Amino acid sequence: MNFSVIIPMYNSENTITKTLDSVKEQTAYDRILEIIVVNDGSTDNSLNIVKEYILYNDDLPIILIDKINGGVSSARNAGMRISRGEWIALLDSDDEWLSNKIEIQLKTIEKNPDIDFLGGNSNGLSLRIIFKKIDNLYKASVKDLCLKSFPVTPAAVFRRRIIDEIGYFDEEQKYAEDGNYFLKICTYYNYYHLPVQMVNCGGGKPSFGYSGLSANLKGMYEGNVKNIQDLRKDSILSLNFYLFLRIFFWSKYIRRIIISKLR
């Protein structure tokens, strides 16, 4: 079993070295087939930093793609299209894996070969779905993901064959695009969560209302609504649960606005 690591990069000159170091320092590094860094039209020094990193780490299987800016989904897709690993491991250019992340997921999959997708905890936080705390390996349902979007993208690994069967990230969707893709996976495959810390995201900054795409709370709200509309259109969600989610998402949106203003 081996992994293709996909790292979309945009203006990450201050973080990309630590991100790559976190891959290099994996205890199961020998299972990493390739590290695909996709420069998505950065306007800072990110591209040159990665080129220099490759020179000083010429034993690492880093593949560098340089493309015009198209957004994070476009960058992930570019990396996924050329990937050769049996499993895809996603990582963002301002995040860092804990050193045993791949080893933990590898051992979990080997013990549970029905797993198609596996996520984990991040930033020292536990997973709760409404009032239910996830304490053990957990098989998630589409309803679970509607109530609580998880895991964070850089904690996710999934089988490469899934791409061939359901396609790629929606490059037209700018917000909650990872949630959209993960919901598709959960609909048709065995989607599991392991409640073990695996990644530190964005230097520990708040998960919303701070920077990056998640700073646009309205966009995130509209993206999440679009995701459940797609599910309802395909009759995956009942009408009653869909209507409940519309109220639930609106309430969460208002709550996040209030929290962001109080920070």
- Provide the CATH number for the domain around residue 171: 3.90.550.10
For residue 151, whether the previous peptide bond is cis, meaning omega lies within 30 degrees of 0, is yes
Residues 31 and 121 in one domain: yes
> How far is the C-alpha of 107 from the C-alpha of 104, rounded, in Å?
5
Residues 141 and 242 in one domain: no
Domain that holds residue 131: 3-204
For the stretch 103-112, pLDDT in tens is: 999 999 999 9
3-state helix, strand, coil split of the chain in percent (to 5) is 45, 20, 35
pLDDT band, residue 215 (cuts 50/70/90): low
Residue 204 has pLDDT above 70, yes or no: no
Q: What average pLDDT does the chain have?
A: 94
For the stretch 140-178, pLDDT in tens is: 999 999 999 999 999 999 999 999 999 999 999 999 999
The C-alpha angle with vertex 94 and arms to 198 and 116, in degrees rounded to 5, equals: 40
User: In the listed set 181, 204, 227, which residue is the last one of a domain according to the structure?
Assistant: 204
Residues 96 and 217 in one domain: no
Residue 212 has pLDDT above 60, yes or no: no
**By the 8 A CB rule, do 37 and 121 touch?**
no
The C-alpha angle with vertex 200 and arms to 210 and 140, in degrees rounded to 5, equals: 95
Strand (E) positions, 140-236? 157-159, 191-201
